Every structure is written in structure tokens, then in C-alpha cells.
Amino acid sequence: MYKLIADETHFVVVSKDSGISFHGEGFVAKIKEDMGYELFAVHRIDKITSGLLIFAKTKEVADKLSKMFQNKTIDKTYLALSDQRPGKKQGQIKGDLKKTRNGSYKLLRSMDNPSMTSFHSSLLEDTLRLFILSPITGRTHQLRVVMKSLGSPILGDMRYGGSEADRGYLHCYALKFNLDDISYSFQFFPDSGKKFLKYEHKIKEIINGKSI
């Protein structure tokens, strides 16, 4: 369900498994039970997404971290795979996100309250590409919609047109931030997904080349 990555003075960091709902299946309750004390959620990731999550140990720290996410002072890096060629290989995608009737979202050209995502892609094999995604904002389904808008829906993300796979290939790989004048940096490579594991060495080479 999850792995404990760090147990700091004011918060813990875990990596959620892909296919586990943040809101269901007793995910948060299980972490609290295992740790033995109250924890406060600071941010969330989708069911198909794996990777790093922060839980504060007090309400005060939770408020601080939540404001940092809102103020875009926490750097987030995601890894995604797609087997469909993108319209462009790198850049930034901006635009409002609008919810559609089926519960999905779509990217608009309007800029009233736009989502913002920087990305860079690298070829892993003839039909498989790695995307390193840096969301500046944190909207629901943001990265999944961005990938679809590029013409490269995430592998395994059936809602947004991705090819069928053993998991949704989206993973929160790194978080960096300063809290009370202390710098924190956490990284965790996905430990599930045949494609992630097959290309682990090559993906890590690309990540190291980007100095993430």
C-alpha cells in the first residue's frame, strides 16, 4: 500500500503504491495506525499515480506546508511513460482545466486561473518515451490532462486515452523544499511497473543528466 521514506521531526514522507486510492481502502488510516500518532494530509495524488506524499505531524506544520504548495515553493518532479509520440518534446504547457461530464478534465486555451507544467521527454525505445514533468500548479488530473494534450497520454491511463498496461505510469519521484530554514530533498524511484523496472538504469541516467 505504501513505503515509509522518511520520518522527520515535523512530518513523514511515504511513497504510495499505484492503484491505491488516497481517500479509500483505509490508506491514510493505515499510515496513522502504523506510525502510532495523528498525521495531517498536506497534498494528494491520484489512484493511478504512485510516489511521494507528505504527512505533517501537527496541524500547524500542515498549514505551513499546504501554504507552501499553494505558493508554489515546493518543487515537484514526476516521471511518466507514454508509447505515443508527443506534439513537442519539451517546453511548458499552460491553460485552464475544466471538468467534463464524465468526471474527466480538459485543457482550455483560456488563462483565467491556468495550470502550469514544464516538461522534458527522452526516448527510451522506438515506441516508448520518458517524460520528466514539473508541475508548477497542482490541479486535479493536471499531469494526465497535460500528457493527453501533448498527444502522449500516460501509459496505462485509460481515462485519458492511454494504452493498456500493468499500471498507470505516473510517479511522483522527487520533492524539494525549505521548512523553518532547513532544506529537504526526497527522491524515490518507482518499485512497480514492468516498464519502469526494465528501463530503471536508463531512466536514472537521464534523471542524473537533468540534475534532479
User: Catalytic residue positions?
Assistant: 46
Cβ neighbour number for residue 192 with a 10 Å cutoff: 13
Cβ 55 vs Cβ 14: under 8 Å: yes
Partner residues linked to 122 by β-bridges: 130
What is the chain's alpha carbon radius of gyration, rounded to the nearest angstrom?
Answer: 17
Instruction: For residue 159, give the DSSP letter.
Output: G
Select from 1, 43, 47 the least CA-distant residue to 22: 47
Cβ 189 vs Cβ 212: under 8 Å: no
What are the DSSP E strand ranges found in 83-206? 90-95, 97-99, 105-107, 115-125, 128-135, 170-179, 182-187
Partner residues linked to 76 by β-bridges: 175
Instruction: For residue 162, give the DSSP letter.
Output: P
Q: To which residue does cell 521514506 refer?
A: 5
